Amino acid sequence: SHERYLVSTSHKYLLAKCFSQFCVVESFREQSNKLNEPSLYTVKAVLILDNDGDRLYAKYYDDTYPTVKEQKAFEKNIFNKTHRTDSEIALLEGLTVVYKSNIDLFFYVIGSSHENELMLMAVLNCLFDSLSQMLRKNVERRALLENMEGLFLAVDEIVDGGVILESDPQQVVHRVALRGDDVPLTEQTVTQVLQSAKEQIKWSLLR
Which pLDDT tens digit goes with each residue over 96-113?
999 999 989 999 999 998
Residue 90 and residue 179 in one domain: yes
Residue 89 and residue 120 in one domain: yes
Closest by Cα among 139, 152, 58 to 103: 139
Residue 21 and residue 121 in one domain: no
Q: What does residue 89 show for φ and ψ, rounded to 5 degrees?
A: -135, 140
Instruction: Return mean pLDDT, the chain.
Output: 78
Q: What does residue 114 show for φ and ψ, rounded to 5 degrees?
A: -100, 10
CATH number at residue 86: 3.30.450.60
The answer to whether residue 130 sits within a structural domain is: yes
pLDDT at 175 over 80: yes
pLDDT at 180 over 70: no
Averaged pLDDT, 24-28 = 43
Residue 127 and residue 192 in one domain: yes
| 151-168 pLDDT per residue, tens | 999 999 999 999 999 999
Residue 119 and residue 160 in one domain: yes
pLDDT at 77 over 90: yes
Residue 136 and residue 175 in one domain: yes
If pLDDT is split at 50, 70 and 90, which confidence band does 21 have? low
Longest Cα–Cα distance in the chain: 101
Beta-bridged to residue 106, according to DSSP, are 49, 101
Alpha-carbon torsion, ordered 155, 161, 165, 171, to 10 deg:
-20
| 54-73 pLDDT per residue, tens | 999 999 999 999 999 999 99
Structurally, the chain folds into a number of domains equal to: 2
Q: Is 130 in contact with 169 (CB distance < 8 Å)?
A: yes
The answer to whether residue 112 sits within a structural domain is: yes
pLDDT at 181 over 90: no
Q: Is 12 in contact with 20 (CB distance < 8 Å)?
A: no
Task: Give the pLDDT of residue 179.
Answer: 77
Residue 81 and residue 29 in one domain: no
Q: Is 178 in contact with 164 (CB distance < 8 Å)?
A: no
Buried b (16+ CB within 10 A) or exposed e, 24-60: eeeeeeeeeeeeeeeeeebbbbbbbbbeebeebbbeb
Residue 75 and residue 5 in one domain: no
**Which structural domain, as residue segments, surrounds residue 94?**
45-199
Least confident of 51-60, 77-86, 124-133: 77-86
Residue 146 and residue 194 in one domain: yes
